[in-house]
Amino acid sequence: MRFYLTTAIDYCNGKPHLGTAYEKVTADVLARAHRARGRDVRFLMGNDEHAIKIEQAARDRGLEPIAWCDQMEALFRETWDALGCSYDVFIRTTEPRHHRAVQEFLRRIKDGGDLYLGSYEGWFCTGCEAFKKPEELTDERCPDHVSLVPKWLKEENWFFRLSKYRDPLLAHFKDNPTFVQPDFRRNELVAFLERGLEDVSISRRTTWGVPFPFDSEAKVYVWFDALINYATGAGFATDDKEFATWWPADLHIVGKDITRFHGIQWPAMLLAAGLPLPRRIFGHGYVNALGSRLSKSAGSKVDPKDLADHVTADALRYYLCREAAYGADLEWSDERLYARANSDLANSLGNLLSRATAMVHKWFGGTVSADISNSPLVEEARVAIARVEAAVDLCALQEVASIPMELVAKANLHVDQKAPWALAKDPARREELAYVLTEIIHLTFIAGSLLLPIMPTKMGELIRRLTGSAPLGHGDWVNLGTRFIAKDRVLEQGTPLFPRIEPPTSET
């Protein structure tokens, strides 16, 4: 079974920040989880390069836009690699394959009768790269870009007949209740659709953008061009076989601010081009990190790479998944990050691994394997696996993080209740001791396997110490509940998996 997952592509006028990192990391956790379930995953990320503000950022530095975009691609990839993002395809909208896809897409929409030439005038916010209705301005400024003066622009433009798609989209929302998630975002979009849709301008008279196939003066409006990247990334207009394999997308992960574009404009474009709609669109919340003191970079923006260097990518990934319900905003707290890293990871999980392997070494020379198939804890582990898989289907990442930690807590409690050190004193209870230690190792292994998508490096190490081999990266959850540590396996002891981390003592 295949699974095609995408994130939004990012404007590369500035460095990646914590908000974009949140989206990439959480999408990566889902990509890895689907791989763990044995699915063939295509995970698409990339950069959105045709915005006027990117051209501006380049010119401000005396660079050609494409040279700037090349530099930014390297920077973005470096950041995503440092955070452990396992994208399969990194797309750039300046690539020839994308230009080709956009132009083919436009031809199809035009052939279907949904493109027409019209004129448009109005206030244009260069921050949003969008025309604003007078009622959307406050004191003649865009509320999101108060430092920019909107310009009055009049353009002869190509229009997309979006209005035609109100009813088909309402019907699609009705027939597919999980098309847009979470539910409250879906309801916002349905309410928006019910008010009616207006046609939208999709061309600009600029130099930076995808050229219109049938109008040499026009470039494709950046939003329209950007949305098509999801089709390009699946092979649209370049490889029909590939496209037939991967389209439609199973899941688009996007920020809450652009859920409407993805839930309304994009499906309408696909309908107009005669293409199937994505199966699900999930709108995540923001990371509100203004109060953070952790950033070494200028201003209040947190550099995700700095942060990963400091607390490890895995601890950061765990915090981002565990701290807030996915779909709601995450209120960043340095204290909570350190609390999660030290209490959940170092004290509970790391300590469980250390003491479990230490006990097996102390009393069994490093290898223990009782038949625990009738243990209630084995059954509980199976239930946890099923719950995590269900949470993955719902993009409920907080549960994907918390359910395995319940197993960790259970294993630690089991150690305390069974007191292996007391059992070890009585040679008559040696079998019981082996049974208890096998249960504990098993729970540690299952919890570690379930946390693998969130913490690929640390959990890879945990699994290696217990099983002798690294995780496969594909199919690691297949039949997981019936996998046990091999009988003759000498467990590896090592340094603490999660050394305690301390907040920086002084920060400017």
Structure tokens at 306: 């700095």
Q: Which is nearer to Zn ion, 167 or 257 (CB)?
A: 257
How many angstroms separate the CA atoms of 63 and 71, rounded?
A: 10
Q: Which is nearer to Zn ion, 142 or 264 (CB)?
A: 142
Diameter of the chain measured on Cα atoms: 90
How many angstroms separate the CA atoms of 50 and 223, rounded?
A: 9
How many angstroms separate the CA atoms of 77 and 54, rounded?
A: 17
- Sketch the per residue contact string, 92 through 131, with Zn ion: x for CB under 5 A, - otherwise: ---------------------------------x-xx---
CB of 416 to Zn ion, least distance (A): 57
Q: Which is nearer to Zn ion, 138 or 493 (CB)?
A: 138
Amino acid at the residue 309: D
Q: Report the alpha-carbon angle 218-158-51, nearest 5.
A: 55
The answer to the question of residue 142 lying near Zn ion (CB under 5 A) is yes
φ, ψ for residue 487, nearest 5 deg: -60, -40
The answer to the question of residue 52 lying near Zn ion (CB under 5 A) is no
The region of 8-16, 74-82, 138-146, 318-326 touching Zn ion under the rule CB under 5 A is: 138-146
Q: Which is nearer to Zn ion, 142 or 249 (CB)?
A: 142
Q: Which is nearer to Zn ion, 134 or 376 (CB)?
A: 134
Structure tokens at 138: 């406050």
CB of 138 to Zn ion, least distance (A): 11
Q: Which of 111, 121, 144, 309 is close enough to bind Zn ion by CB under 5 A?
A: 144
The site for Zn ion, by CB under 5 A, has a size of 6
Q: Which is nearer to Zn ion, 145 or 489 (CB)?
A: 145
Query: Would you say 179 and 186 are in contact if contact means Cβ atoms under 8 Å apart?
Result: yes
Q: Which is nearer to Zn ion, 11 or 332 (CB)?
A: 11
CB of 48 to Zn ion, least distance (A): 16
Structure tokens at 423: 């059992």
CB of 125 to Zn ion, least distance (A): 3
Q: Which is nearer to Zn ion, 75 or 130 (CB)?
A: 130
* Residue in the block written with tokens 């765990």: 318
CB of 63 to Zn ion, least distance (A): 25
The answer to the question of residue 468 lying near Zn ion (CB under 5 A) is no
φ, ψ for residue 326, nearest 5 deg: -70, 125
The region of 34-42, 139-147, 346-354, 470-478 touching Zn ion under the rule CB under 5 A is: 139-147
CB of 282 to Zn ion, least distance (A): 25
Q: What is the CA radius of gyration of the chain?
A: 26
Whether the link from the prior residue into 143 is cis, omega within 30° of 0, is no
SS (H, E, C) 440-490: HHHHHHHHHHHCCCCCHHHHHHHHHHHHCCCCCCCCCCCCHHHCCCCCCCC
How many angstroms separate the CA atoms of 498 and 346, rounded?
A: 5
The answer to the question of residue 153 lying near Zn ion (CB under 5 A) is no
The answer to the question of residue 145 lying near Zn ion (CB under 5 A) is yes
CB of 130 to Zn ion, least distance (A): 7
CB of 304 to Zn ion, least distance (A): 25
Which residues contact Zn ion by CB under 5 A? 125, 127-128, 142, 144-145
